[in-house]
């Protein structure tokens, strides 16, 4: 724990060195729209060798792929539902055969049902868990072994601040994101002794994407981040994807264990 605190403190003082992406093949799930589309742009601008997009809507995937190719970066798309384990493994095999080894995996795909528990359809609840949580298990299992062999790889999870601070009316999303957060914390700790392979969890605030259209916040100070785009302030946090930065999640969990403040802890 002391090591994590010191590493995080040093990272605040000294600027992190940007990673050279010229030899990296990047795969982004949910890459057809929203944050996934913007990440594809950012990786292309940063000089990624190849960008691969996964998603369920071919129209969006085609549009994003064409845009990235016009930027001069080789880009491919594959239709894949990350909530379907066998489909993930089959598509991963197709990616390796057509594109090559994936060295940066960005788990971005997610869905939200947006209802209370009693108003939620069982199938919709299962869908959220399969895509938002289990999907990351399957994609990571598909690509991590080769990263370990190459001693070169980075697993990135685009999570949400709701993983740490839940809200009513989105019980499926909050639960799945909390599960994904725990998954990444365990994975990150497990990779500490694996040279060249690391993991990063990103916890964005409410972003004005199609998935959260119509959501309102109580205070102007907490206005949602704008639709991801080249000039949006959303991009201010993108640097963590290109650097070897400390993950503060373990510190957060440790502090919470000392000062429990959740409603359930007060019962």
Task: Kindly list the domain boundaries of the chain, sorted by start residue.
Answer: 21-266
Within 8 A by CB and 6+ apart from 152, the residues are 103, 196, 197
CA-based diameter of the chain, in Å?
57
Q: How many residues does the chain have?
A: 267
**CATH code for the structural domain at 21-266:** 3.40.50.720
Do 73 and 40 form a contact (C-beta atoms < 8 A)? no
Q: Which H or E element spans position 158?
A: strand 153-158
176: closest CA among 254, 81, 83?
A: 83
Active site residues: 173
Q: What is the pLDDT along the chain (267 residues), one digit of tens a residue?
A: 677 677 767 766 776 677 899 999 999 999 999 999 999 999 999 999 999 999 999 999 999 999 999 999 999 999 999 999 999 999 999 999 999 999 999 999 999 888 888 988 999 999 999 999 999 999 999 999 999 999 999 999 999 999 998 888 889 999 999 999 999 999 999 999 999 999 999 998 766 555 544 445 444 444 444 555 544 444 444 444 544 444 444 445 445 445 445 444 434
Distance of CA 156 to the CA centre of its chain: 5
Do 135 and 184 form a contact (C-beta atoms < 8 A)? no
Which is it for the CA torsion 10, 185, 100, 65, positive or negative?
negative
């Amino acid at each position: 724990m002391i090591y994590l605190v010191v590493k995080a403190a040093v990272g605040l003082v000294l600027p992190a060195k940007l990673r050279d992406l010229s030899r990296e093949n990047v795969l982004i799930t949910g890459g057809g729209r929203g944050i996934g589309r913007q990440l594809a742009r950012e990786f292309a601008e940063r000089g990624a060798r190849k960008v691969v997009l996964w998603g369920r809507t071919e129209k969006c995937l085609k549009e994003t792929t064409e845009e990235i190719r016009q930027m001069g970066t080789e880009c491919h798309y594959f239709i894949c539902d990350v909530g379907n384990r066998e489909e993930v493994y089959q598509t991963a095999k197709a990616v390796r055969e057509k594109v090559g080894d994936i060295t940066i995996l960005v788990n971005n795909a997610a869905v939200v049902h947006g209802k209370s528990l009693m108003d939620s359809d069982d199938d919709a609840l299962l869908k959220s868990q399969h895509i938002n949580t289990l999907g990351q298990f399957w994609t990571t299992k598909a690509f991590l072994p080769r990263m370990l062999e190459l001693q070169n790889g980075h697993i990135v999870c685009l999570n949400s601040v709701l993983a740490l601070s839940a809200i009513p009316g989105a019980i499926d999303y909050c639960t799945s994101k909390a599960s994904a957060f725990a998954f990444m914390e365990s994975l990150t700790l497990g990779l500490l002794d694996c040279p060249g392979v690391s993991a990063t969890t990103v916890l964005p605030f409410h972003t004005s994407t199609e998935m959260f259209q119509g959501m309102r916040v109580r205070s102007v100070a907490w206005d949602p981040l704008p639709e991801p785009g080249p000039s949006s302030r959303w991009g201010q946090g993108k640097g963590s994807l290109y650097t070897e930065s400390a993950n503060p999640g373990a510190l957060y969990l440790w502090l919470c264990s000392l000062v429990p403040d959740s409603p359930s802890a007060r019962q």
